[in-house]
């Protein structure tokens, strides 16, 4: 697996990472713990060294899983986690990036991940009640204390990124980016390119849709987040199949799968973009990792660009309430 540098901070990771959230959060039913650990081990064997989790996934259980799975490989992997939520009775109860809360969250993450230092620490969502300068300053202190190596933001707007970066250099921005979620191209991607910040693309396969394995008849399990997202209604899936048809055309011509083409497209946009597809199936890990060796030519990328520009995606990526919490 090739490596990529996330911006100019010196943070180097595998070209494709692994999003671990779905192993214990949002995409019920979850795999058996032993199977999830085996999947993570197989990903390491295939050259993946970049693993993504967060305290809110569970909450807490995903960090524990990732920590246990990666303990034997600690010296050769990069683990990213996130702070920024408040919990009551074991459930998410709003956002909180108060400095003392950040410090407490980091202590918990260090224990659950079984590490002495967090490689990459993101603010999970922007907290409108806490100046981003205070957040960045707190992480700067944690870096000075040796508890954190690199600072990241998630789903932050361009001005927020600039303000944070002025206090503590931001190494990576994690935001949704894929062939059907491209709103960041207008302002955010140019901003982070200017500042030397890498982009970690979550949901690069559109929560599974761009892999071409679901249609209007697909049923999501109880507790699956896609049950409430506008883009995954039966009507939206029927309407958005036109994008899948485009992807499948290129997949056939490259002797690849739809998932591999969707990921190869993300990789081709900038050399400092790293997608982190999530899966609970081992064969999907192998399939996704295969995208790193697929090269789309300038002509092919332009053809995809021209064709996709004529496609109107039906359904917003989040509900209105969820979108308001992104900080964009």
pTM of the full predicted structure?
0.96
Closest-CA residue to 209 (of 185, 170, 236, 169): 236
Whole-number pLDDT of residue 327: 56
Summarize the confidence of residues 84-109 as an average pLDDT.
95
Closest-CA residue to 113 (of 62, 151, 43): 62
Domain boundaries, the chain: 3-209+269-294
The whole-chain average pLDDT of the chain stands at: 96
Summarize the confidence of residues 17-36 as an average pLDDT.
94
DSSP assignment, residue 197? B
pLDDT digits (tens, 9 = 90+) for 137-146: 999 999 999 9
Whole-number pLDDT of residue 312: 95
Summarize the confidence of residues 100-123 as an average pLDDT.
98
Q: Is the pLDDT of residue 326 over 70?
A: no
pLDDT digits (tens, 9 = 90+) for 237-254: 999 999 999 999 999 999
DSSP codes joined into one string, 272-307? TEEE--B-S-HHHHHHHHGGGG----HHHHHHHHHH
Summarize the confidence of residues 269-282 as an average pLDDT.
97
**Among the options 27, 28, 57, 60, which is catalytic?**
57
Q: Is the pLDDT of residue 293 over 60?
A: yes
Q: In Å, how far are 54, 56, 99, 140, 325 from 104, measured between CA atoms?
A: 14, 14, 9, 15, 22
pLDDT digits (tens, 9 = 90+) for 74-85: 999 999 999 999
Pairwise CA distance, residues 154 & 52, whole Å: 12
Whole-number pLDDT of residue 29: 87
Whole-number pLDDT of residue 328: 53
Provide the b/e sequence for 224-243 (b: ≥16 CB within 10 Å).
bbbeebebbbeebbebbeeb
Asked about 57 being catalytic, the answer comes back as: yes
DSSP helix/strand/coil, 319 = coil
Pairwise CA distance, residues 212 & 267, whole Å: 19
CATH numeric code, 3-209+269-294: 3.20.20.100
Q: Is the pLDDT of residue 323 over 90?
A: no
Whole-number pLDDT of residue 88: 93
Of all residues in the chain, what percent carry a pLDDT higher than 70? 99
Whole-number pLDDT of residue 106: 98
């Amino acid at each position: 697996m090739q490596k990529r540098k996330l911006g100019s901070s010196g943070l180097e990771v595998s070209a494709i990472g692994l999003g671990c959230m779905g192993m214990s959060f949002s995409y019920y039913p979850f795999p058996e713990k032993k199977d999830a650990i085996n999947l993570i081990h197989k990903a390491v064997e295939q050259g993946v060294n970049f693993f993504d989790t967060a305290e809110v996934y569970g909450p807490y259980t995903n960090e524990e899983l990732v920590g246990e799975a990666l303990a034997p490989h600690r010296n050769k992997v990069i683990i990213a986690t996130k702070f920024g939520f408040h919990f009551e009775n074991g459930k998410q109860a709003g956002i909180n990036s108060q400095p003392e809360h950040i410090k407490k969250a980091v202590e918990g993450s260090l224990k659950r991940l079984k590490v002495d230092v967090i490689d990459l620490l993101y603010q999970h969502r922007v907290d409108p009640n806490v100046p981003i300068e205070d957040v960045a300053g707190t992480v700067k202190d944690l870096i000075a204390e040796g508890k954190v190596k690199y600072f990241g933001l998630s789903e932050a707007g361009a001005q927020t990124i600039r303000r944070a970066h002025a206090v503590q250099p931001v190494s990576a921005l994690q935001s949704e980016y894929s062939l059907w979620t491209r709103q960041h191209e207008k302002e955010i991607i140019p901003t982070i390119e200017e500042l030397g910040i890498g982009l970690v693309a979550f949901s690069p396969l559109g929560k599974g849709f761009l892999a071409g394995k679901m249609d209007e008849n697909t049923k999501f399990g109880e507790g699956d987040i896609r049950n409430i997202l506008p883009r995954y209604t039966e009507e939206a899936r029927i309407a958005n199949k036109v994008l899948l048809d485009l992807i499948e055309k290129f997949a056939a011509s490259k002797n690849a799968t739809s998932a591999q083409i969707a990921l190869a497209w993300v990789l081709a946009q900038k050399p400092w973009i790293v997608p982190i597809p999530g899966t609970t199936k081992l064969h999907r890990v192998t399939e996704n990792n295969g995208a790193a060796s697929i090269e789309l030519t300038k002509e092919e990328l332009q053809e995809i660009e021209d064709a996709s520009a004529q496609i109107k995606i039906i359904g917003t990526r989040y509900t209105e309430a969820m979108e308001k919490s992104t900080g964009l």
